Amino acid sequence: MVWNSMLLSQWVMTQQIIGRIGQIPDDTRARIIRQYEVTRTPEGGWAMHGEGGPYVFMTTLGYVALRLLGLAKDHPLVAPARAWLRAQPGGVLAVPSWGKFWLSMVGLYEYEGMNPIPPELFLLPDWVPLQPNNYYCHTRYIYLGIAYLYGRRFRHELGPIRDELRAELYDQPYEQIDFAAHRHDIAPSDLHVRPSLPLRAIYDTLHQYEKRPVKVLRRRALEHCFQRIVYEQEVTRGQGLSPVNGLLDCLALFAEGHPLLEPSLPAMETWKWEDEAEGIRYCGAHSTSWDTAFGMRAMLEAPRAVVETGTASTALVKAYGWLRDAQVQEELPDYARERREPVLGGWCFSDGAHRWAVSDCTAEAMTALLEAHAAPNLLPDGLTRITDERLAQAARFILRRQNADGGFGTYEARRGSLILEYINPSEMYGNCMTERSYTECTASCVGALARFRSRFPTVLRSEIDRALERGVALLRSRQLADGSYLGFWGVNFTYAIFHVVEALGAAGVPESDPAIARAIEWLLGKQKRDGGWGEHWKSAMTDQYVEHPESQAAMTAWALLALLEALPVSHAAIGRGIDCLRAMQQADGQWPRQSQAGVFFSTAMLDYRLYKDYFPAWALARFARLSGSTST
């Protein structure tokens, strides 16, 4: 799952801070530089994602990282980035708050120019909306690390290169810059959510407080935050919830000289991905369980003659065993003290090692396993099957993530009010302050619970009946006037409709139901002349459907999977869509890499590298099964 250069730059800066940048082997350094080469935009900077324009934030961090790696200021990768930064309104002084923070830690910005994130926030009672315990978990743990390092004004001395970088990044002498005057400056290229008036007022109040913080309170807050950082690193086996907060945690451990730093540094390498074509990058997440579950479901959809023979059968058995073993089977110690939810029985997005389990990942994994159990002659007699009790654990895990409105969150049920979005400090991301009832997560959970109920009709029956009733009601309420649904984690309307139609069908809603019929009618109206579907990633940023100029394999598959749930297999639109997928498939069986299909927090587009293959294979398999063909 490919994102952008931010984490790679922060990893390089972390190596510099902890004194290990000189230990990076030459071949590793070359592969890191290769990643910057292949991701640079035509303007000379680095973007939020593979199809976007350059950001001051990404470009500034990339510039600093490349210089720390030893590239000269006139290097062909470096000089154009500096020129682009100098040409932007406000220049580096307008880098968003996360950039101000990272630069401050290495002496390339001053902390008084950063809007405060004091650690005292973590001492507030939970009923206070500003208490980060109410935030979305990724946001909460990122700001936990920032608050600790900001609160102690952590700073690393770069040595001689510091003054060189200061002169290169700014068009005036560093000592003459009034950094405090630029606290609210944000580059237009990077801005997605402008800080609200209430947030600016909070910032201004905290700015005054930071001039004379209460020493006893600050010391207590720092101790509290550090204890929580240690807990996070211990229970995630050094990985952190993600490398975004994991790197910050490593810096906090380094600042304290804590022995947990030594196992945390190699654990951070689990987020690394490298290949010959694109070099080394650090992924915001790994989608191992997610991809395995969908890959299994795609193969299980095929006609029995295909599934039960040859490589498909072997792959399915191996995938089953891997998914079975990836379920979290060890509860977090003292989770309530850290305001964590129980994780027993869940599946993570990745391989499960860091034990941050997710509702829809659990739902899709459980669905894949249940579908494998239903496939005759697939699982060999000697294979250890997942037990009924462990499947019940998964159902309990999902049930705990249901919100009061009937929808489902991801890692947790919602804690804070959506009013928290008015104090979103990230500037570059939207809808990131608290858990929500996500349409796709709700759909995955509804589908999995319905399938569990069908297989185990007496287990958790009353809880599941009630959860399904409320979940289906939430999905109905989310339908827009034109019949479509807004997505959150994929692009966007097409992705959401695929999930909703699948879920309603699993829950027993007939295809003639108005909600399904209207969604199908919307899809039919978006079919392109070549028979495919294509939605542009800008749909996710605007919440308005934006058609892509070209048909996209993944989106065509999403549309077909929904249509095949509700229309006769002989429907003309389905035939045209299948023909489009066939025409797009390459000789080696893959489909071409195309536009971004994943997203989080409105602006962070993601390239799920396997979406383009298993979703089309799934759609073709379903068509083959329903049409009685084995040659599709």
**How does pLDDT run across 238-261, given as a tens digit for each residue?**
999 999 999 999 999 999 999 999
Domain closes at, from 282, 307, 331? 282
Asked whether the beta carbons of 48 and 99 are under 8 A apart, the reply is no
Q: What is the band of 327 on the pLDDT scale with cuts at 50, 70, 90? A: very high
406, 332: one domain: yes
223, 159: one domain: yes
| Residue 258: φ, ψ to 5° | -80, 140
Give a yes or no: residue 607 inside a domain: yes
278, 301: one domain: no
What's residue 630's pLDDT? 60
Q: What is the band of 308 on the pLDDT scale with cuts at 50, 70, 90? A: confident
What's residue 374's pLDDT? 94
What's residue 392's pLDDT? 98
Mean pLDDT of 91-101: 98
558, 411: one domain: no
Mean pLDDT of 305-328: 90
Sign of CA dihedral 364, 368, 369, 370: positive
157, 185: one domain: yes
Sign of CA dihedral 459, 461, 466, 469: positive
Q: What is the band of 631 on the pLDDT scale with cuts at 50, 70, 90? A: low
549, 463: one domain: no
- Residue 274 CA to residue 280 CA, distance in Å, equals 4
**Residue scoring higher pLDDT (381 or 296):** 296
Asked whether the beta carbons of 449 and 398 are under 8 A apart, the reply is yes
- 3-state SS assignment for residue 347: strand
Alpha-carbon Rg for the chain, nearest whole angstrom, is 25
Torsion of CA 344, 231, 423, 602, to 10 degrees: -50
Cβ atoms within 10 A of the Cβ of 387, count?
10
Asked whether the beta carbons of 503 and 467 are under 8 A apart, the reply is no
What pLDDT, in 10s, does the model give residues 14-32?
999 999 999 999 999 999 9
What pLDDT, in 10s, does the model give residues 601-620?
999 999 999 999 999 999 99
Instruction: Please count the CA atoms within 13 angstroms of the CA of 306 that sit on its side-chain side.
Output: 18
Q: Which residues does 356 contact at the CB level (< 8 Å), separation at least 6?
A: 137, 236, 241, 343, 348, 349, 411
Give a yes or no: residue 510 inside a domain: no
360 carries an active-site annotation: yes
Give a yes or no: residue 488 inside a domain: no
298, 372: one domain: yes
Cβ atoms within 10 A of the Cβ of 313, count?
18
Give a yes or no: residue 507 inside a domain: no
Tokens 């907060």 label which residue?
A: 245
Give a yes or no: residue 363 inside a domain: yes
Residue 95, pLDDT > 90, answer yes
Q: Which residues does 101 contact at the CB level (< 8 Å), separation at least 6?
A: 114, 117, 146, 149, 150
Could you tell me the end-to-end alpha-carbon distance of the chain, in angstroms, rounded to an integer?
A: 28
The CATH code of the domain that includes 439 is 1.50.10.20
| Residue 284: φ, ψ to 5° | -65, -20
| Residue 81: φ, ψ to 5° | -65, -40
Nearest residue to 119 (alpha-carbon basis) of 27, 26, 218: 218
458, 574: one domain: no
pTM for the structure as a whole = 0.96
Mean pLDDT of 74-101: 98
- 3-state SS assignment for residue 348: strand
| Arithmetic mean of pLDDT over the chain | 96
Give a yes or no: residue 460 inside a domain: yes
Where in the sequence is the domain holding 82, given as residue range(s)?
Answer: 6-282
Residue 310, pLDDT > 80, answer no
Mean pLDDT of 379-385: 92
- 3-state SS assignment for residue 291: helix
Domain closes at, from 260, 282, 304? 282
DSSP calls for 457-516:
TTTTHHHHHHHHHHHHHHHHHT--TTS----SSBSSHHHHHHHHHHHHHHTT--TTSHHH
Asked whether the beta carbons of 579 and 531 are under 8 A apart, the reply is yes
241, 334: one domain: no
Q: Residue 118 corresponds to which tokens in the numbers above? A: 């004091």
What pLDDT, in 10s, does the model give residues 256-292?
999 999 999 999 999 999 999 999 999 999 999 999 9
Determine which one of 360, 513, 530, 579 is catalytic.
360
Helix axes 359-374, 388-399, angle to 10 degrees: 150
What's residue 315's pLDDT? 93
- Residue 567 CA to residue 517 CA, distance in Å, equals 9
CA 291-137-252 angle, to 5 degrees, is 105
Q: Residue 536 corresponds to which tokens in the numbers above? A: 């542009």
Nearest residue to 627 (alpha-carbon basis) of 574, 584, 581: 574
Q: What is the band of 333 on the pLDDT scale with cuts at 50, 70, 90? A: very high
Q: What is the band of 570 on the pLDDT scale with cuts at 50, 70, 90? A: very high
Mean pLDDT of 67-78: 98
What pLDDT, in 10s, does the model give residues 388-436?
999 999 999 999 999 999 999 999 999 999 899 999 999 999 999 999 9
Q: Residue 151 corresponds to which tokens in the numbers above? A: 């609160």
What pLDDT, in 10s, does the model give residues 139-178?
999 999 999 999 999 999 999 999 999 999 999 999 999 9
- Residue 619 CA to residue 595 CA, distance in Å, equals 19
Torsion of CA 608, 613, 615, 620, to 10 degrees: 170
DSSP calls for 185-212:
---TTT-SSPPPHHHHHHHHHHHHHHHS
Domain total of the chain: 3
Helix axes 310-326, 288-300, angle to 10 degrees: 140
Q: Which residues does 33 contact at the CB level (< 8 Å), separation at least 6?
A: 66, 69, 71, 77, 279
Residue 455, pLDDT > 90, answer yes
Burial of 589 (0-12, 13-18, 19+ CB in 10 A): exposed
Domain closes at, from 282, 300, 319? 282
What pLDDT, in 10s, does the model give residues 490-510?
999 999 999 999 999 999 999
Specify the DSSP class assigned to residue 402. B
358 alpha carbon, distance to own chain's centre: 11
343, 271: one domain: no
Q: What SS3 string covers 247-283? A: HHHHHHHHHHCCCCHHHHHHHHHHHEEEECCCEEEEC
- Residue 583 CA to residue 626 CA, distance in Å, equals 20
268, 293: one domain: no
Give a yes or no: residue 305 inside a domain: yes
Asked whether the beta carbons of 187 and 56 are under 8 A apart, the reply is yes
What pLDDT, in 10s, does the model give residues 470-483?
999 999 999 999 99
167, 117: one domain: yes
Give a yes or no: residue 426 inside a domain: yes
